[in-house]
Amino acid sequence: MSINFMTLPRHILEQEKKYPGATGELSALLHDLALAAKVISLEVNKAGLVDILGFTGDNNVHGEQVKKLDIYAHDMLIRAMDHGGHLCVMASEEEENIIHIPQKHKIGKYVLLFDPLDGSSNIDANVSIGTIFSIYRRISPDGTPGTLEDCLQKGVEQVAAGYIVYGSSTILVYTTGEGVFGFTLDPAFGEFLLSHDNIRIPEKARIYSINEGNYKYWRTGLKKYIKYIQAADDRDEKPYSARYIGSMVADIHRNLLYGGIFIYPADKRNPNGKLRLMYECNPMAFIVEAAGGKAIDGKNRILEIQPKELHQRVPIYIGSAEAVDMVKKFLIEDEIEEAVHSKN
């Protein structure tokens, strides 16, 4: 990984030159996000030292116990983003309703949705966790307060998306739809430096990532797919490897670099799966597709789903195109078999 001292701000400006109508607002927005990421990274990396770990005792909108770092990251992002004059509204996985821009600040033309600290249940185990963000252009009239409709746009309408993974190093990955770029934070001088130029997800890879503890709740088609790939060596094929961190940002980052497939399916207990469309699946699908991969809900493209509510969940099968196509084939064949059986 050669670092050529291409800083994130310079890269964003160079990317922006590709868009003749660019006003610099999106660049400033991404710059503010990077600043927030540096501050959150500082806290995440010293969490083990400061009494910031442990439960607050509060629950978030989904009834999950919230750790202090979730709240810290949520508050930090709002404080960093609400006064830049680029946003008309925000929405956070940690907040039930949309977040308005304070009246004293200029209202901009973009919409920001974020998961402030995904994978937070892993904080105490020092497993990589991350921030995920998704940016849209507003659809409501300029100069007015942003609306829920501004936040409920299809994933194909995103103008940018990215994540920051706080792991052995802090890496920010973003795309504006053309090319995916990774920057590693150099703590020595607090700058994100280009370390992964134009990431392309490997077309083929024999890595699958799913919580097999839920096996008995899966649809038959998914069970058949997993059994099929686990029997690769019976067909004299190279065997697959199972990798599951349980932190979506970390699992997707590995998936993006090494290829393979990440799956969080619907099952008998969770008919829509667990992961949120607006804060996790849409941004990750936008990134993976920009890197040459695919992302479906089991049948349809994630980015084409018309959102109905802010915190809706969707099943997700995301990664190398070949792997996503293969699992889709198993799921559709199973659906046809079930339809035939139900008629007989």
**Given the complex with ligand P6P, which of 169 and 270 has the nearer CB atom?**
270
**Given the complex with ligand P6P, which of 54 and 246 has the nearer CB atom?**
246
**CB 121 to ligand P6P: min, Å:** 5
**CB 318 to ligand P6P: min, Å:** 11
CB atoms within 10 A of CB 254: 19
Nearest of 260, 252, 269 to residue 313 by alpha carbon: 269
**CB 247 to ligand P6P: min, Å:** 5
Name the β-bridge partners of 182. 173, 196
What is the rounded CA–CA span in Å between residue 333 and residue 135? 36
197 to 24, 172, 174, 187, 193: CA distances (angstroms): 22, 12, 11, 20, 10
Nearest of 122, 157, 148 to residue 44 by alpha carbon: 122
**Given the complex with ligand P6P, which of 7 and 122 has the nearer CB atom?**
122
Q: Is 70 helix (H, G, I), strand (E, B) or coil?
A: helix
CB atoms within 10 A of CB 106: 12
**CB 90 to ligand P6P: min, Å:** 20
**Given the complex with ligand P6P, which of 67 and 86 has the nearer CB atom?**
67
CA-angle at 56, arms to 283 and 121, nearest 5°: 45
**Given the complex with ligand P6P, which of 122 and 147 has the nearer CB atom?**
122
Q: Is 255 helix (H, G, I), strand (E, B) or coil?
A: helix
**Given the complex with ligand P6P, which of 79 and 268 has the nearer CB atom?**
268
Name the β-bridge partners of 103. none
**CB 183 to ligand P6P: min, Å:** 21
**CB 191 to ligand P6P: min, Å:** 27
Nearest of 193, 165, 194 to residue 181 by alpha carbon: 194
Contacts with ligand P6P, residue ranges (CB under 6 A): 118-119, 121, 211, 246-248, 251, 264, 274
